[in-house]
């Protein structure tokens, strides 16, 4: 593989992020990188084109019930495939030591999904999403009803799009879909 010139105007690195302000390159032949692994955040100033995305999911043999801590540092999807044990609330956070608020900047948009099995009793989400342990300073708008008459013996997918509008303040778009057997 032969390369022409590569010029970097600014390269800033830290343990958490890499920012490339300007990258100019002239390549003599096509380059297809493979197997690259990034640890921490990667910020790109221009568009990113991907052929496919594989999201990290946590798949657990447990049922929904009580408060479910959704650690965004660990996954974008949780799938609990045992029958639900009761009504529940999801608490979105970074992890046990990091707030979600500290992980995202104003204007950032994050989408997460929680998949659970209702079982024969039809347990449901209480219609709210906690962020860092509170429902204060957020507005949630729903497509599909998260509470009430829920299909039994079905998988329910709850998708939340969370938009940070200011420190500790979020707009949340929630969607509920039932996949019945």
Average pLDDT for the chain: 82
Buried b / exposed e over 16-45, threshold 16 CB at 10 Å, is eeeebeeeeeeeeeeeeeeeeeeeeeeeee
Q: Report pLDDT digits (tens) over 150-171.
A: 788 899 999 999 999 999 999 9
Task: Name the residue ranges covered by the structural domains of the chain.
Answer: 3-43, 57-180
pTM of the shown model? 0.77
Confidence check: pLDDT of 117 > 80: yes
SS3 111: strand
Q: Report pLDDT digits (tens) over 17-71.
A: 444 443 334 333 445 567 777 777 788 788 888 888 888 899 999 999 999 999 9
| Mean pLDDT to the nearest integer, 127-141 | 90
Give dist(CA 128, CA 107) in Å, integer. Answer: 21
């Amino acid at each position: 593989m032969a390369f022409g010139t590569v010029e970097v105007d600014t390269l800033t690195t830290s343990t958490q992020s890499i920012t490339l302000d300007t990258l100019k390159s002239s390549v003599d032949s096509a380059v297809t990188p493979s197997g690259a692994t990034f640890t921490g955040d990667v910020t790109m100033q221009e568009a990113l084109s991907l052929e496919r995305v594989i999201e990290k999911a946590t798949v657990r043999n447990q049922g929904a019930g009580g408060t479910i801590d959704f650690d965004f540092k660990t996954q974008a999807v949780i799938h609990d495939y045992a029958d639900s044990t009761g009504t529940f609330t999801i608490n979105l956070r970074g992890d046990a030591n990091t707030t979600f608020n500290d992980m995202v900047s104003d204007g950032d948009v994050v989408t997460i999904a929680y998949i659970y099995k209702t079982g024969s009793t039809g347990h449901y989400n209480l219609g709210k999403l906690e962020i860092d342990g509170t429902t204060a300073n957020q507005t949630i708008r729903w497509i599909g009803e998260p509470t009430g008459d829920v299909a039994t013996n079905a998988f329910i997918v709850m998708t939340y799009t969370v938009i940070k509008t200011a420190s500790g303040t979020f707009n949340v778009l929630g969607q509920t879909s039932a996949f019945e057997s």
